[in-house]
Amino acid sequence: MSQPVEEVRLSLGHIELAAHLFGPHEGLPVIALHGWLDNANSFARLAPRLKGLRIVALDLAGHGYSEHRPPGASYALADYAHDVLRVAEQLGWQRFALLGHSLGAVISVQLAGALPERVSHLALIDGVLPPTAAEQDPAERLGMALRAQLRLEGKRKSVYATQAQGVEARIKGMVAVSREAAQLLAQRGLMPVPGGYSWRSDSRLTLPSPQRLSQAQAMAFVKRVQCPACLVVAADGMLARHTQLLEQLPFEQVVLPGGHHLHLNDEGGAALVADCFNRFFGFP
């Protein structure tokens, strides 16, 4: 579904982020947050189908056309939440909705729980909580993360001879996507480098987290959410098998056919998600 899209850059002082703008200027303010190693094109099929919304679809820090964090910095969830708040401040949005997929959904829930007065709606796609820790020794986990940081310094990014090879790698990635979805992500994810093409995403995004919340700590964010929330669960995605977690969530839930990227993989999936969210936002 094609529609003119405005490309913008947002200078937040500590970092500059790229974004796509969709919808009427007077629409309900929405900040859209994509998943891990994706970019703003994650919403290229969905956003044009959503009615009455002014959507700012970000390239999160370290992804797409946005800047990477400075040397020595990391990609903590709290830092992403801070970025989103700074975007809202720059746009003059005191209250805004969040549309999040996967990692973007996790960031959305944490921000809505931390500052419930700022978030008007939560529209979530196949994501709610970050991976949690059971009884793992926190010192052991920190040691693992520190060793991974040291090893990363000697690694080089994969270089693909052609763009098509880079797309193939994304299709077969840790979370598989359709060819069309991979091509959309590649539009702002692949960059020319000596010898071919490489993905723009910061290599530090692949590092393990030095700390993880317990299940109770993660659920504390959910319990503080005060706004209406709608969670789309992909029938063949990451959340469907976590039935115990889903039963604990106080959010409206809709199960739709498709995989983890159901809003991006094909036009049919995007249409189903859009119908759900248009009803949720009150623009059926």
What amino acid positions are annotated as catalytic residues?
102
d(CA 233, CA 236): 9
CA proximity to 55, closest of 107, 3, 12, 13: 3
Contacts of 247 (CB under 8 A, 6+ apart): none
Amino acid at 192: P
- Report the DSSP pairing between strands 252-256 and 229-234: parallel
CA proximity to 235, closest of 149, 156, 159, 126: 126
Backbone angles phi, psi at 109, to 5 degrees: -65, -40
Helix (H) or strand (E) holding 150: helix 138-152
Calculate Rg over the CA atoms of the chain: 18
DSSP code, position 79: H
